[in-house]
Structure 1
Amino acid sequence: MYKLRGHHLFCLLGYRGMGYSQEYIENMTRLHQTLRNNPKTRIQLVKGPDHLCEKYPNSGEYHCQNDNIYNRDEVILKKLGLSIGQILRWEEIEVGIRKNAVPSDIQTVCKTCSWRSYGVCEEGIQDIIDGKGLREVK
């Protein structure tokens, strides 16, 4: 079982193999591939640093403890009708995304995210809505 915070549910949708460091990319890719290949993988929703934050590079301010990140987590969980402490299969999270999210949500929910300008998160939400699941990372 993996522990994930709210905003990482959307980050996984847009993940295309880029990240903050090589160690972070390898960790994110492993998780992404696990969820893509086995959507029955269990996820526990947590408040604060999670499985992906473990490999965030120590380069000054610890992004994972930033108030803006906690706010983004909360907004995304609320949007998806989820709450801290829940344990779900990834496929159940995808159902929640299909029911409760649209690609344009990224522009408001993730407005302060540095990755937003790539447009990949909107594509990721649309892929889930279309029933395609997570994109393959090459």
Structure 2
Amino acid sequence: MTVRLRAHHLLCMLTYVGKGYSPAFVENYEAIAARLSSAEEIELVAGPDDICGPLTADPEAHCHGASVIERDREAADAVARLIGSPLTSGARLTPSATLLAGLRKTFATGEIRTACSGCEWAGLCDHVADGGYTGVRVAP
């Protein structure tokens, strides 16, 4: 089985600590975090993914917006530079300890955070990264 993620969620998963848009969103994300923590393969998708699931019924949800598509593009570019491989829809990654450590290191320094500009969760993510990623749910 694979976890379907849009590109900017490759960044979000690094600092996810159990907070979200609604109880249904958090419950869904907790299940996905457990799957990612067991190194279940990630398939990169364009548009709403497994994390967006509880929000997709709302046509006004940000997961359908143009700004999120741009955020996905920026995140894919940043992560691709880090891993040295293009990230397009259909690409597959394994959330190994090595990959997560590399992503978290460059996230903390800001190197791969261009996509986070303007995100309502940026302050929380700053706090989690500055705190050494204590309490994150996606861990190898």
Is the structural similarity TM-score above 0.5? yes
Task: Show the counterpart of 1:74.
Answer: 73
Secondary structure (helix, strand or coil) at the match of 2:90 reads: coil
Q: For residues 79-136 of structure 1, give each alpha carbon's deviation from its aligned partner in whole angstroms, at most 9, with x where no partner exists.
A: 111222112212175366268x342246643111001112245348x65xxxx9x824
- Length, aligned pairs only: 128
User: C-alpha separation between the residues in 2 aligned to 1:4 and 1:93?
Assistant: 15
* TM-score, with length taken from structure 2: 0.76
Task: Show the counterpart of 1:23.
Answer: 24
**1:1-138 alignment runs, 5 A limit:** 1-36=2-37, 38-39=38-39, 41-56=40-55, 58=57, 61-81=60-80, 82-91=87-96, 93-94=99-100, 97=103, 101-103=106-108, 104-105=110-111, 108-118=114-124, 119-120=126-127, 122-123=129-130, 127=133, 135-136=136-137
What is the one-letter code of the residue matched to 1:50?
Answer: D
- How much is the aligned-residue C-alpha RMSD, in angstroms? 2.8
User: Where do 5+ consecutive residues of structure 2 fail to align?
Assistant: 81-86
Q: Following TM superposition, by how much is the alpha carbon of 1:59 offset from its aligned partner in structure 2, in angstroms?
A: 5.2
Q: Following TM superposition, by how much is the alpha carbon of 1:33 offset from its aligned partner in structure 2, in angstroms?
A: 1.9
* TM-score, with length taken from structure 1: 0.77
